[in-house]
Amino acid sequence: MALAASLKEADITAALAACAAADSFNHKEFFAKVGMSTKSADDIKKAFAVIDQDKSGFIEEDELKLFLQNFSASARALTDKETAAFLAVGDSDGDGKIGVDEFAAMIKA
């Protein structure tokens, strides 16, 4: 995976293990554990481009739901509840999707 290449495998494993149970995903904890909180703005833009699978320039709800699978193909999908909560945190302009600036703000918050 393109995202995994810029992160430590052990960090990804630990971050995914911490949210293995349904409804246990916490974006702040995940971004910190996986090592994204300390990444440069440029690296965060690259990560955004991977998660934005259809290259629409936004992370939509369906892409957000499969967020964890960008880190490991065998990771679970987020539950509807987690996806909605994640979107609500990131979507500061209320357009129902997450832009690159909103994504960066969420990681650095």
Question: By the criterion CB under 5 A, which residues form the site for Ca ion?
Answer: 52, 54, 56, 58, 60
Is the CB of 33 or the CB of 71 nearer to Ca ion?
A: 71
Q: Name the residue with tokens 């995202």.
A: 3
**Six-digit token pair at 44?**
């965060």
Helix axes 100-108, 27-34, angle to 10 degrees: 80
Alpha-carbon distance 68 to 63, whole Å?
10
Q: How far is the CB of 39 from Ca ion (least distance, A)?
A: 20
Annotated binding site: 52, 54, 56, 58, 63, 91, 93, 95, 97, 102
Q: Which residues are annotated as a binding site for Ca(2+)?
A: 52, 54, 56, 58, 63, 91, 93, 95, 97, 102
